[in-house]
Amino acid sequence: MTPLGDSAASLAPRGLFAKAALAALVGAALGFATAWLAVNDGFAFGAARSGPWVAWPKAGAPDIDPYARATLARTGAVALGAGEGLAFRAETDSQGRTLDGRCDYRISGPTPAARFWTLALTTRDGRPVGNAARRQAFASSDVLRAADGAVQFVVAPSARAGNWLPSAPDAKFVLVLSFYDTPLAASASSIEGVELPAIVREACP
């Protein structure tokens, strides 16, 4: 074999190795990227939806998927156990617009059967929203109700009469509606067709 032939033969394995290394690097980058998105964009699988509200029935179950487990570890959140209840999050109003602390919102409508429920306002990473009123949540046992038993809430940066949750005018926020001792916690299929309160944006600068 000529020297040129020997050189070409020696370069061939190097070229294959370089291609394999590049493919491995691209695959690893894609894997890390999709894992990061799954962990940092809420729970990746098993979501159950009702209007703007989203819940993950298996987040507190023994067979929780690894992405949801990593999300809980990252945020420090404690999911309700499968037999304890179910929490719904809303990051948008009923029209799909991101919840904005500068705007006024009215939350009203039916609530599913539950022994006890709460409505809380948090930051997007799950922390309570600080405010002068020191009010971040309402419980079903202490809300003001209409004569027919209906309940409605107002989320706004300035004080309102009734069930008012103060928002921070300089920040986005999330609403968390948690039901305890409820049939909804049984499975994702039990949530199908369940109607939850509407989130309607009213005044907004």
| Rounded Cα distance, 200 and 92, in Å | 10
- Could you give the C-alpha distances from 129 to 103, 118, 121, 173, in angstroms and in order? 15, 15, 7, 8
pLDDT digits (tens, 9 = 90+) for 171-199: 899 999 999 888 776 555 556 668 899 99
pLDDT, position 44: 47
Task: With a cut of 50, say whether residue 168 has pLDDT above it.
Answer: yes
Cα–chain center distance at 129: 16
Task: With a cut of 90, say whether residue 101 has pLDDT above it.
Answer: yes
pLDDT, position 197: 94
| Rounded Cα distance, 95 and 31, in Å | 33
Q: Which amino acid is at 72?
A: L
pLDDT digits (tens, 9 = 90+) for 117-156: 999 999 888 888 877 778 889 999 999 988 888 899 999 9
Q: Is 24 helix (H, G, I), strand (E, B) or coil?
A: helix
| Rounded Cα distance, 155 and 166, in Å | 6
Query: pTM for the complete prediction?
Result: 0.71
Tokens at residue 8, please? 């070409």
| Contact partners, residue 160, CB within 8 Å, separation at least 6 | 104, 154
pLDDT digits (tens, 9 = 90+) for 65-83: 565 555 555 544 555 555 6
